[in-house]
Amino acid sequence: MTYCVGLKLDRGLVFAADTRTNAGVDNIATYKKLHVWEEPGERVITLLSAGNLAITQAVVSLLSEHITSADNDRATLLTAKTMFQVARLVGSAVREVKEIDGEALATSAESFFVTFILGGQIEGEEPRMFQIYAAGNFIEVAEDTPFLQIGEHKYGKPILDRVTRSDMRLGEAAKLVLLSFDSTLRSNLSVGTPIDMLLYNKDTFSTERQVRIEQDDPYFQKLSHGWSEKLRDAFGELDEFDV
């Protein structure tokens, strides 16, 4: 399992992904699920992945290989003109991998399961964010629901539902995302630290606010304990049920 969140806010984008992969609870490992491509000053593209690791790695490798290949006619993540075009490139890469591996997976009774959150900004456009499905098609985030989640999304959704606002500062949003992760980490062993985060400030075309948060990170620890305490206090202040 996996847990990834993307927020599209007025001031930019926030991405977070856990790093746990597992083939059974007795076989876990740490893999990066937050992938970044950039052309400083011109574009920043971020891809979060959930699902079968062999498939997501193949998609990421294909996208990267296309960038360095000699075929200059083909648009790549670094040459596509819009984020919509980038989303289509990712969708095509998913379909390419499905063509190669899909049948063999099916005969092994393995499903072709994969989902991505794609976000970023290309000069001339506003920041945009998409969710890309295993079929290679996708949706774009709209204003009414400014966040996307993939993987184990249920435990961490109530806090996002109640607190997310489009006009949040990115640091506030990052705090929110970490609380959402904290709820998930407590309940699902197949989601695990470290957590990779990227805070992208609109129009900066820079990925300098990228960080990896370990389990014992002092801020994360303090946040988690502080939140539990405040929740209990808030709970105590509400009227008791009486019947």
Q: Which stretches of the chain bind a second copy, using CB under 8 A?
A: 154-159, 161-163, 169, 171-172, 174-176, 178-179, 183, 186-187, 197, 199, 209-211, 219, 222-223, 226-228, 230-235, 237-243
Indicate the residue among 73 and 144 with the shorter CB distance to a second copy. 144
Indicate the residue among 110 and 217 with the shorter CB distance to a second copy. 217
Strand partners, 201: 12
Count CA within 13 A, CB hemisphere, residue 174.
Answer: 21
Indicate the residue among 29 and 231 with the shorter CB distance to a second copy. 231
Tell me 6's DSSP state: E
Name the minimum Å distance from CB 121 to a second copy: 18
Indicate the residue among 1 and 75 with the shorter CB distance to a second copy. 1
Q: Which amino acid is at 146?
A: P
Name the minimum Å distance from CB 57 to a second copy: 27
Name the minimum Å distance from CB 211 to a second copy: 5
SS3 213: strand
Tokens 């994969």 identify what position?
Answer: 114
Indicate the residue among 4 and 176 with the shorter CB distance to a second copy. 176
d(CA 188, CA 154): 10
Q: Which tokens hold the place of 172?
A: 């506030």
Instruction: Let me know if 115 is exposed, middle or buried by CB neighbors in 10 A (0-12, 13-18, 19+).
Output: buried
Q: Which tokens hold the place of 230?
A: 């405040």
| Spatial contact of 117 and 15, defined as CB atoms under 8 Å apart | yes
Diameter over CA atoms, the chain: 74
Name the minimum Å distance from CB 69 to a second copy: 34
Indicate the residue among 95 and 157 with the shorter CB distance to a second copy. 157
CA 46 distance to own-chain centroid: 8
Name the minimum Å distance from CB 198 to a second copy: 9
Name the minimum Å distance from CB 98 to a second copy: 26
